[in-house]
Structure 1
Amino acid sequence: MLGFLINEREKQEMEYLLKREMDEILFDLKDSRIDHIVKRAMDERYKILFELFKRVASHKDCMKYMKTKRIEQGKS
């Protein structure tokens, strides 16, 4: 187990970067040209990013991305 300390500004930056990356993955999962094997790998990456996101984001933001994730999985 690893741990690190970050200040509020760094927390906000991490939150922003994770949201941006997760949004990009969700967008790409909608693309029918992407192979299902690649989509599965993207989904695994999304799960890892979401676990990190849960550590820094508010409950409201987490619910938003959790809900979106479920919707997207049903479409792919």
Structure 2
Amino acid sequence: MLGVMLNNKESQEVEYMLKRELEELLLDLTDSRIDGIVKRAMEERYKIIFGLYKRFASPKECYKYIRSKHQRSENV
């Protein structure tokens, strides 16, 4: 386990970067042109980044990026 100390501005910047990455992944996961193997790797990346994002954002903000079971089974 690693620890990091961030000031408020740095914390906001990390949250912003994670949010943008989640948005990009969610968009790409709905793209039918992307192969299933690549989508599985993207899904794995999504899980990791969402786990990090949950540590910075409020639960209300996290709801925007939660994928339903239907979305997961439809895209992979």
- TM-score, normalised to structure 2's length? 0.89
Q: Does 1:45 align with 2:45?
A: yes
Deviations 1:8-62 (A, max 9, x none): 1111111110010010011011111100010000000000000100111111111
2:52 equivalent to 1:75 = no
RMSD: 1.2
Gaps of 5+ in 2: none
Runs of 4+ residues over 2 Å off in structure 1: none
When normalised by structure 1's length, the TM-score is: 0.89
Aligned residues: 74
5 Å matches for 1:12-51? 12-51=12-51
**Aligned partners of 1:39 and 1:47: how far apart in 2?**
12
Percent identity over the alignment is 58
8 Å CA contact 1:26–1:72 kept in 2: the answer is: no
Post-superposition shift, 1:74? 4.2
The one-letter code matched in structure 2 to 1:72 is: Q
Structure 1 position 3 matched with structure 2 position 12: no
* Structure 1 runs not aligned, ≥5 long: none
CA contact (8 A) 1:15 1:57 kept: yes
